[in-house]
Amino acid sequence: MRLRSIVVLAAALGATGVIAEPAWAQDPIHKMGRGVVNILTGWIELPKQIHLGSQEENPIVGLGRGLFRGASLTVIRAGVGIFEALTFPLPYPKAYASPYESMELNDYAWE
């Protein structure tokens, strides 16, 4: 009975986020890996955003927006990727999970 109570309490705390895992950016290897991956795959943003733009109400305007947004995000991902790959030994502050979080982007282009 006691073990069951501990398991239920741990599950409840984990579900509410009280017990949180360290952010990926706190680990230098994952920080470098994410940076290299975003340098190599940041170009995926271009066709992804063009496709998402074509799904808008006016596909012609959406294609233009998608092209602009995709080109912008490609440059941003490459820039942040280079930054992360070069500064991987330096940890981010503890409360800071990802540079993409402040831009409301996923960590990788395909997400």
pLDDT band at residue 56, thresholds of 50, 70 and 90? confident
Proportion of the chain above pLDDT 70, given as a percent? 76
Residue 38 pLDDT exceeds 80 = yes
- pLDDT of residue 39 exceeding 70: yes
How much is the pLDDT for 24?
Answer: 46
Three-state SS annotation for the chain? CHHHHHHHHHHHHHHHCCCCCCCHHHCHHHHHHHHHHHHHHHHHHHHHHHHHHHCCCCHHHHHHHHHHHHHHHHHHHHHHHHHHHHCCCCCCCCCCCCCCCCCCCCCCCCC
Q: Each residue of 69-93: pLDDT tens digit?
A: 999 999 999 999 999 999 989 887 7
Shortest CA distance to 98 belongs to which of 86, 84, 111, 85? 84
Average pLDDT, the chain: 80
Q: Are 78 and 38 in contact (CB under 8 A)?
A: yes
Q: Full-prediction pTM beyond 0.85?
A: no
Q: What is the longest distance spanned by two Cα atoms in the chain?
A: 63
